[in-house]
């Protein structure tokens, strides 16, 4: 362990020295970096991953690319540090992104009497990876793997291509008989294990891929933030027009709004707006923040000829939870699902007041909403617990051995202590936040599992109370297609 740490420190020092001579060196531009100790080539990402492996062995949380650059290259100029970080983060995200080709049967050829095929380009992001086994989970849009005009509708022939092996005519080709795959992950190794048209999300499972085993692919992480802000810098990685994985940058133009999109029917989706340029084929690709975390899954753009760079992404506040729900369902049942499960409280809420203010510490303008219970649904978890007019102030998911049935207390008793399972991948551990936007509660309910307890801090008549909901029965869950 100590020898490994010393070797890493030496390599990092050499890379840092290279950065002190030039603002940008080759070590963040590709697989080959400046010569290191004893003539060894240095690779920024190999060192980054090795540092995080050492941290994991010591029980420490992994560093983001941004944190890694700041910690190990913090003494270089701020301009160089920012340039290094931005390029490093973008390049690293390319390693977790995939170009997808979905192959559909669309009819029969009258001349040959055989089925004809139509292929569509899309994108995806690796969110879990076991490179030794060649296994991975990839998130994409539902509409990338669903085509109502095709014979099968739900695509059973999806091909995936990693960065550097994603060019048509070189790595794959298209024909009336289907996809001609040369260097990608074949459809025989890819299964659609979860899909929700209602939320335009799908999860692919890759099994035993030699392409993954022999690659430098990495898994991306979802941002754990419950809200995002206009002006935040983001970048999209996708496969526009099937031309190969491409990076475009921009900002979050609007943090939350609703759009209508037709897949099998017209549906409404809550999205964030960005001015990062996207085109057909970007669907399903990641929208990343400056730390290389997924803040959204790109799903559409404004096709109005008079509008430039208006694109939309499904926010990670619910995307990450739906994706994890699909993975959990598949791993527990072993079967694919065409719906997603969600826990329900059983209330209709309304916003009684909205105001904007500038947070000087964070440097952002925040929106804050007063979320109020409008009505309680008969037979739901909230019956005899919540009332119309209750203001919801805080939300938590955890467990509480003292709570055995739905109850409400005028003050929190000392024995009602919520605990959190830090190993739960759904939210990276504790899920507890102040409710400042109406969508927060609805999004978080995808993280609730059978046996969980949901705690709400409410205000009723000027008095704070604690409401507990025990999800011990499937009656408090529903499924959305």
Phi, psi of 321 (to 5 degrees): -75, -35
pLDDT of 270: 98
Question: Domains of the chain: which residue ranges?
Answer: 2-94, 95-338, 340-480
13: pLDDT strictly greater than 70: no
Domain at 340-480, CATH from 3.90.1150.10, 3.30.910.20, 3.30.70.1450, 2.30.42.10: 2.30.42.10
37: pLDDT strictly greater than 50: no
pLDDT of 418: 87
Per-residue pLDDT tens for 150-173? Answer: 989 999 999 999 999 999 999 999
For the record, the structure tokens of 202 come out as 């799908």
Average pLDDT over residues 366-387: 94
Mean pLDDT for all residues in the chain: 86
Q: What is the pTM of this model?
A: 0.84
pLDDT of 38: 37
The 10 Å CB-count burial string (b at 16+, else e) for 45-56 is: bebbbbbbeeee
Per-residue pLDDT tens for 17-33? Answer: 444 433 333 332 233 33
Counting residues of the chain whose pLDDT is more than 70, the rounded percentage is 84
Per-residue pLDDT tens for 402-414? Answer: 887 878 787 877 7
Q: What angle do CA 200, 202, 204 make, to 5 degrees?
A: 165
Query: DSSP string covering 98-114, please?
Result: EEEEEEEEEEE-TTT-S
Q: Is 262 exposed, middle or buried (0-12, 13-18, 19+ CB in 10 A)?
A: exposed
CATH number 3.40.50.300 given to 95-338: no
Distances (CA, A) of 278 to 55, 142, 283, 311: 36, 18, 8, 7
Per-residue pLDDT tens for 67-122? Answer: 777 776 654 556 656 666 788 889 899 999 999 999 998 876 555 556 788 999 99
HEC profile of 355-370: EEEEECCCCEEEEEEE
């Amino acid at each position: 362990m100590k020898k490994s740490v010393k070797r890493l420190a030496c390599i990092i020092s050499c890379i840092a020295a290279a950065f002190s001579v030039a603002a940008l060196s080759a070590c963040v531009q590709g697989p080959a970096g400046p010569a290191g100790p004893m003539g060894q080539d240095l690779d920024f990402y190999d060192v980054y991953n090795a540092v995080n492996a050492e941290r994991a062995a010591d029980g420490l949380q992994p560093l983001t690319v941004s944190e890694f650059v700041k910690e190990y290259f913090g003494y270089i100029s701020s301009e160089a540090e920012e340039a290094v970080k931005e390029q490093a983060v973008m390049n690293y995200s390319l390693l977790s992104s995939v170009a997808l080709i979905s192959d559909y049967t669309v009819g029969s050829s009258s001349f040959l009497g055989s089925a004809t095929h139509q292929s569509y380009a899309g994108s995806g992001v690796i969110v879990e990876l076991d490179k030794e086994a060649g296994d991975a989970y990839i998130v994409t849009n539902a509409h990338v793997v669903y085509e109502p005009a095709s014979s099968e509708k739900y695509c059973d022939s999806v091909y995936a291509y990693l960065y550097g092996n994603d060019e048509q005519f070189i790595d794959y080709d298209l024909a009336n008989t289907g996809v001609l795959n040369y260097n990608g992950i074949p459809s025989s190794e890819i299964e659609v294990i979860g899909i929700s048209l209602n939320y335009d999300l799908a999860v692919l499972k890759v099994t035993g891929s030699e392409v993954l085993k022999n690659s430098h692919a990495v898994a991306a992480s979802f941002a754990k933030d419950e809200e995002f802000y206009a002006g935040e810098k983001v970048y999209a990685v996708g496969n526009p027009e099937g031309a190969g994985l491409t990076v475009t940058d921009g900002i979050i133009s609007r943090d939350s709004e609703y759009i209508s999109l037709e897949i099998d029917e017209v549906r409404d989706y809550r999205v964030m707006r960005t001015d990062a340029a996207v085109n057909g084929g970007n669907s399903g690709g990641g929208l990343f923040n400056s730390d290389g975390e997924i803040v959204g899954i790109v799903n559409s753009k404004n096709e109005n000829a008079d509008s430039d760079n208006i694109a939309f992404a499904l926010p990670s506040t619910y995307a990450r939870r739906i994706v994890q729900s699909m993975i959990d369902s598949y791993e527990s049942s072993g079967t694919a699902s065409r719906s997603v499960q969600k826990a329900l409280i059983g209330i209709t809420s309304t916003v009684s007041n909205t105001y904007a203010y500038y947070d000087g510490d964070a440097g952002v303008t925040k929106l804050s909403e007063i979320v109020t219970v409008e009505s309680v649904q008969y037979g739901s978890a909230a019956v005899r617990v919540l009332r119309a007019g209750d203001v919801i102030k805080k939300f938590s998911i955890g467990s509480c051995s003292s709570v055995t049935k739905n109850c409400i207390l005028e003050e929190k008793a000392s024995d009602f202590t919520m605990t959190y399972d830090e190993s739960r991948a759904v939210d990276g551990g504790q899920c507890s936040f102040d409710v400042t936007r109406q969508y927060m509660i609805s999004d978080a309910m995808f993280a609730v599992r059978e046996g969980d307890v949901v705690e709400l801090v409410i205000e009723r008549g000027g008095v704070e109370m604690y409401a507990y909901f025990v999800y011990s029965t499937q009656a408090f869950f529903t499924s959305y297609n």
